[in-house]
């Protein structure tokens, strides 16, 4: 049986047509801690090692996911079930998406559904300058907020700007610089990042082996 958090993630995905005619189904929210724990438990993923981690950065004391050796289950930290999960590296994000029959978005796909196919739109909500009623950014809150706490885009997507950044599938490329094979594209700003990172076109790279406090997961499905 699939639990409620995972069921909502899949059933509430929004169908979106790219400019090339392909259709995607895109998760309305970032993957929650509850949903991530459910995936780990459904696949009976064991505890991470004491000295290193494969996918979940349990060595960060603020990591929202913990393995309970008494039950053999992963659990969320108290009161974080509906917060977006972080601390999962790129490979872990990819693996979790695959368990849902999904994948990570390509950067150009992410920009397309964040802008509703409008390449001139600066922010997911439109032209208005960022403020703290529109997004969680610039350490105003001091951490993540529950998914859906801020207004959705016109297509019904939450937290495309702020709260957590989002892993994309692509390797990070800098024009005129040799490719960075160990870095992946990250989009969408975050609770601790400045307003400049909220722009749809803003892109940064992150070492793919690192599970950080600022990067989450938004699964997409090929329709």
How many domains does the chain divide into? 1
Distances (CA, A) of 169 to 78, 104, 152, 178, 182: 31, 5, 24, 18, 12
Interior angle at CA 36, CA 183 and CA 155, nearest 5 = 80
CA distance 165 to 21: 27
Residue spans of alpha helices (H) in the chain? 4-11, 33-42, 90-99, 107-115
Distances (CA, A) of 107 to 49, 141, 168: 32, 27, 6
Please check whether residue 217 is in contact with residue 96, taking contact to mean a CB–CB distance below 8 angstroms.
yes
Domain limits at 93?
4-222
Distances (CA, A) of 124 to 53, 105, 183: 34, 16, 25
Beta bridge partners of 206: 184
pLDDT by 10s per residue, the chain, length 223? 568 888 889 999 999 999 999 999 999 999 999 999 999 999 999 999 999 999 999 999 999 999 999 999 999 998 999 999 999 999 999 999 999 999 999 999 999 999 999 999 999 999 999 999 999 999 999 999 999 999 999 999 999 999 999 999 999 987 766 666 789 999 999 999 999 999 999 999 999 999 999 999 999 999 8
Nearest Cα neighbor of 72 from 39, 92, 47 is: 47
Please check whether residue 33 is in contact with residue 80, taking contact to mean a CB–CB distance below 8 angstroms.
yes
- Pairing label, strands 73-76, 215-216: unpaired
- Return the structure tokens found at 160: 């495309």
Residue 110 is part of a domain; what is its CATH number?
3.90.1580.10
């Amino acid at each position: 049986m699939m639990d409620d958090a995972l069921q909502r993630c899949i059933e509430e995905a929004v169908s979106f047509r790219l400019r090339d005619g392909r259709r995607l189904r895109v998760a309305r929210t970032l993957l929650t801690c509850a949903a991530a724990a459910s995936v780990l438990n459904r696949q009976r993923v064991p505890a991470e090692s004491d000295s290193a981690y494969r996918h979940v950065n349990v060595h960060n004391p603020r990591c929202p996911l913990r393995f309970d050796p008494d039950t053999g289950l992963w659990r969320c930290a108290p009161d974080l079930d509906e917060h977006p999960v972080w601390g999962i590296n790129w490979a872990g994000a990819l693996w979790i998406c695959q368990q849902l029959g999904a994948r990570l978005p390509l950067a150009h796909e992410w920009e397309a559904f964040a802008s509703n196919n409008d390449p001139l739109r600066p922010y997911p909500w439109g032209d208005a300058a960022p403020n703290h009623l529109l997004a969680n950014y610039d350490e105003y809150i001091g951490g993540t907020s529950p998914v859906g706490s801020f207004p959705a885009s016109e297509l019904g997507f939450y937290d495309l700007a702020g709260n957590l950044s989002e892993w994309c599938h692509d390797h990070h490329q800098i024009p005129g610089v040799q490719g960075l094979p160990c870095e992946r594209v990250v989009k969408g700003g975050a609770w601790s990042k400045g307003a400049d990172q909220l722009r749809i076109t803003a892109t940064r790279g992150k070492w793919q082996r690192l599970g950080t406090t600022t990067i989450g997961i938004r699964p997409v499905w090929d329709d």
